[in-house]
């Protein structure tokens, strides 16, 4: 269900120029993570292949980022994100015909597999027959009612090679891979979409301030001072993927701040959409904020009783907006 809300200001949001280049410093002082080159190459080839086929490509980021406390990391600072938003959205983008680069936190939820995260996989299986040289194991459809449909969707996506999953764990890896993905999608122009649903840490301990070895409890509680993580939306919009359709997310716990913060982000970074959500009700309500309006999507009671995904509605709205964006900006590459 969509509730249109009249904008508090009818004119397009005004842009300020208060975006710094702290991101340059970050990359200059932090090395690329292990396997970076290989992952970057994969994203480039994937983007190129789908660009040739004229397929729209979306980069979805999903899950939290771990912030290490020691360089040989034993402990890290983390957050709540499960990856549901990203994984569910990936399925809906795929069913809309998009190719998806799914940049996700290791062990957070993944498209299709997410449906089995709350049930034991072994409980869904039964042994139908067993002889000395053959065994037949089947799926108990009562315990996995959507299995056939899911399997078909998954296989279609696999055959068309439209899903590339790339894992990260730590903040630094995430930031490097985000930049690589954005550069890979640069030549897709307006046909590229960014859907930045990952819960990225706002604070970190710079490499040069981190102890190498495990912090010793015998030394007493550590006094840790954190630095602000550079907002990568700034270079993404201005330098890495200048023609793409960019959607970011804003999570708050205070309802009174939410819309204000979402609009501030649009003003600051000058991208297309912010999806605003509150921690506790993020599964059933979000507000889509654009440069000239905002509206709320809420699941109905009936949808809630069927455990419907709000992501289906979000993705439908965004794909419509993206199509319009391509028409207005030309579908060309850079």
Stretch in the footprint of ligand PAZ (CB under 6 A) among 10-18, 122-130, 192-200, 266-274:
192-200
Q: Given candidates 59, 66, 68, 83, which one binds ligand PAZ under the rule CB under 6 A?
A: 83
Nearer to ligand PAZ by Cβ, of 148 and 304: the residue is 304
What secondary structure does DSSP assign to 137-162, as a single string? EEE-TTTSTTHHHHHHHHHHHHHTT-
Q: How far apart are the first and last CA of the chain?
A: 37
Q: Output the CA torsion 120→121→123→126 (10° steps).
A: -170
Among left, alpha and beta (phi > 0; psi -120 to 50; other), residue 240 is alpha
Least distance to ligand PAZ, CB of residue 66, Å:
14
Q: According to the binding rule CB under 6 A, does residue 84 interact with ligand PAZ? A: yes
Please identify which residue in the block is written with the tokens 């396997």.
Answer: 35
Nearer to ligand PAZ by Cβ, of 70 and 167: the residue is 167
Nearer to ligand PAZ by Cβ, of 246 and 251: the residue is 251
Q: Which of residues 227-286 bind ligand PAZ (CB under 6 A)?
A: 249-251, 277, 282
Please identify which residue in the block is written with the tokens 């053959």.
Answer: 134
Stretch in the footprint of ligand PAZ (CB under 6 A) among 10-18, 154-162, 195-203, 228-236:
195-203
Least distance to ligand PAZ, CB of residue 89, Å:
9
Q: Given candidates 164, 178, 199, 266, which one binds ligand PAZ under the rule CB under 6 A?
A: 199
Secondary structure of 269-307 in HEC code, one letter for each residue: HCCCEEEEEECCCCCCEEEEEECCCEEEEECCHHHHHCC
Least distance to ligand PAZ, CB of residue 110, Å:
12
Residues in contact with ligand PAZ by CB under 6 A are: 81-85, 197, 199-200, 249-251, 277, 282
């Amino acid at each position: 269900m969509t509730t249109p809300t009249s904008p508090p200001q009818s004119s397009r949001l005004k842009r300020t120029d208060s975006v710094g280049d702290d991101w340059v410093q970050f990359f200059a002082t932090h090395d690329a993570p292990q396997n970076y080159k290989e992952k970057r190459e994969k994203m480039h080839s994937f983007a190129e292949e789908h660009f040739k086929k004229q397929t729209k490509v979306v980069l979805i980021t999903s899950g939290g980022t771990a912030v290490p406390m020691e360089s040989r990391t034993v402990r890290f600072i983390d957050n709540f994100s499960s990856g549901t938003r990203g994984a569910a959205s990936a399925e809906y983008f795929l069913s809309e015909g998009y190719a998806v680069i799914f940049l996700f936190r290791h062990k957070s939820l993944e498209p299709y597999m997410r449906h089995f995260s709350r049930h034991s996989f072994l409980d869904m299986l039964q042994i139908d027959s067993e002889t000395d040289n053959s065994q037949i194991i089947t799926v108990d459809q009562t315990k996995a009612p959507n299995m056939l449909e899911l399997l078909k969707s998954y296989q279609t996506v696999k055959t068309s090679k439209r899903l590339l999953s790339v894992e990260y764990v730590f903040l630094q890896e995430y930031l490097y891979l985000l930049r690589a993905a954005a550069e890979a999608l640069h030549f897709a122009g307006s046909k590229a979409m960014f859907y930045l649903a990952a819960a990225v840490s706002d604070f970190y301990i710079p490499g040069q301030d981190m102890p190498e070895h495990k912090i010793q409890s015998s030394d007493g509680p550590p006094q840790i001072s954190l630095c602000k993580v550079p907002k990568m939306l700034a270079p993404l919009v201005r330098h890495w993927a200048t023609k793409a359709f960019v959607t970011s997310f804003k999570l708050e716990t205070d309802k009174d701040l939410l819309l204000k913060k979402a609009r501030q982000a649009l003003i600051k970074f000058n991208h297309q959409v912010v999806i605003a959500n509150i921690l506790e009700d993020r599964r059933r309500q979000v507000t889509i904020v654009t440069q000239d309006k905002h509206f709320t999507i809420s699941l109905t009671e009936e949808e809630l009783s069927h455990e419907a995904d709000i992501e289906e509605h979000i993705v439908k709205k965004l794909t419509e907006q993206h199509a319009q964006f391509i028409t207005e900006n030309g579908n060309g590459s850079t």
